[in-house]
Structure 1
Amino acid sequence: MNSTYPTSARGPADHEVRDQILAAATEHFRHYGYAKTTVSDLAKSIGFSKAYIYKFFESKQAIGEAICATCLRQIETEVSAAVAETDLPPEKLRRMFKAYTEATLRLLFHDRKLYEIAASAATEHWPSVLAYEERIGKLLREVLQAGRQSGDFERKTPLDETATAIYLAMRPYLNPLLLQYSLDYTEDGPTQLSSLVLRSLSP
């Protein structure tokens, strides 16, 4: 994916030591949780000095952001692939609702320890999350614009207003903090919401 996710990282992004730190940190967070882990803990588990880790990441949050950004890129890749499978704007919108929910559930709730990173990211508005939300808005506007051009969607409401309203409808299934309270509705909710949204978009 061409999008970049801003993270507070140091050193070359493709450095193998950086990747090694991220892999070790991911495993450490899985076992002990993000909140309870310090950079010193990571240094001990990896076998590096804390000072050496700081050559690549300025803080624990920077490490968490890099891990979070990887998860978000995976979600975007899955959603983009699902949307690209059809040329029909209404179906693209349905697939967005469904794919975002399924990918978020799979990546963020499969491992409750890593969920702590997602929760921190959402709560503290990390740059990687803000970039992710911008990408969702961009994709929404593209689908809406295509639907207006094809005659499937109404054109009277300002595009940005429509995109924002739809994003707010999707948000309980996109935001990990909110999704945990919507688990009972994840099977049918996205389909029902997308159907409601599509009816409101009819010309």
Structure 2
Amino acid sequence: MKNTHASPIAARGPADHNVRDQIVAAATDHFSRYGYEKTTVSDLAKAIGFSKAYIYKFFESKQAIGEMICANCLREIENDVRAAVDAAEHPPEKLRRMFKTIVEASLRLFFQDRKLYEIAASAAGERWQATVAYEERIRDLLQEIVQQGRLSGDFERKTPLDETTKAIYLVMRPYLHPLLLQYNFDNTEEAPAQLSSLVLRSLSP
């Protein structure tokens, strides 16, 4: 997870995106090596060659930098999920692919960038804006799929849409929430297929 494209989350100061990107890139490298807790703003300033005061012109705190990195990591997962969903033609297959890809992408973050995953876990536990926004977008995508399935006749229409969406999201949540995923490793191979099949049976008209 080395995407260092800056997002508007927690950014401030001069409109110099190159500098922001440089700070985020250095922070991503340091957090990957040493972890979020062990890296200070002084460490980042030293690595980039800026003063700590100059960094504070762009980010109000270390957490603000961490939140941008977290947003980038979660955006990569979301992009993978949307690509998988868009590649499917019918709503039931879209739902299956959504389950499968969320698990695969989340596991990839955990095993390839463990220290960055720890930032995501911390962010989820403290309800940082980046994770709240990510969860909202995932729920929105899920609702889109359910609506498409109702229009196509694949899914039942009696249950209120928001109730259906929330219920399915709660089924998926242990595999997309960073804090919960670490307790569900034993089921990650079977869970996507089994859970999506269960949900699809419940959605049958």
TM-score by length of 1: 0.94
Give 1:70-85 correspondences, 5 Å limit: 70-85=72-87
Confirm or deny: 8 A CA contact 1:6 1:128 kept in the other structure: no
> 1 CA distance for matches of 2:35 and 2:190?
31
Confirm or deny: 8 A CA contact 1:30 1:114 kept in the other structure: yes
**DSSP-derived class of the 1:109 partner:** helix
**DSSP-derived class of the 2:112 partner:** coil
Q: Structure 1 residues 176, 109: closer, same or farther in 2, change over 3 A?
A: farther
Confirm or deny: 8 A CA contact 2:103 2:176 kept in the other structure: yes
Q: Which residue is equivalent to 2:11?
A: 9
> 1 CA distance for matches of 2:35 and 2:61?
16
Q: Which residue, 158, 172, 175 being the options, matches 2:174?
A: 172
Q: Which residue is equivalent to 2:62?
A: 60
Confirm or deny: 8 A CA contact 1:68 1:128 kept in the other structure: yes
Aligned residues: 200
Letter in 2 for 1:190: P
Q: Which residue is equivalent to 1:196?
A: 198
Deviation at 1:184, TM superposition (A): 1.2
Letter in 2 for 1:26: T
Please list every run of 5 or more consecutive structure 1 residues that lacks an aligned counterpart in the other structure. none
Q: Which moved more, 1:13-22 or 1:148-157?
A: 13-22
Confirm or deny: 8 A CA contact 1:173 1:182 kept in the other structure: yes
Deviation at 1:5, TM superposition (A): 6.2
Q: Which residue is equivalent to 2:37?
A: 35
Give 1:176-187 correspondences, 5 Å limit: 176-187=178-189
Letter in 2 for 1:200: S
> 1 CA distance for matches of 2:91 and 2:170?
19
Deviation at 1:105, TM superposition (A): 1.1
Counting aligned pairs with the same residue, the percent is 75
Q: Deviations over 1:41-77 (max 9, x none)?
A: 2112222111000011110111001111111111111
Q: Which moved more, 1:104-113 or 1:144-153?
A: 104-113
Confirm or deny: 8 A CA contact 1:108 1:118 kept in the other structure: no
Q: Deviations over 1:72-126 (max 9, x none)?
A: 1111111111001112000000000001111111123312211221111101101
Q: Which residue, 15, 25, 28 being the options, matches 1:26?
A: 28
Confirm or deny: 8 A CA contact 2:150 2:157 kept in the other structure: yes
Letter in 1 for 2:70: C
> 2 CA distance for matches of 1:119 and 1:83?
25
TM-score by length of 2: 0.93
Q: Structure 1 residues 186, 14: closer, same or farther in 2, change over 3 A?
A: farther
RMSD: 1.5
**DSSP-derived class of the 2:145 partner:** helix
Q: Which residue is equivalent to 1:69?
A: 71
Q: Structure 1 residues 78, 54: closer, same or farther in 2, change over 3 A?
A: same
Runs of 4+ in 1 over 6 A off after TM superposition: none
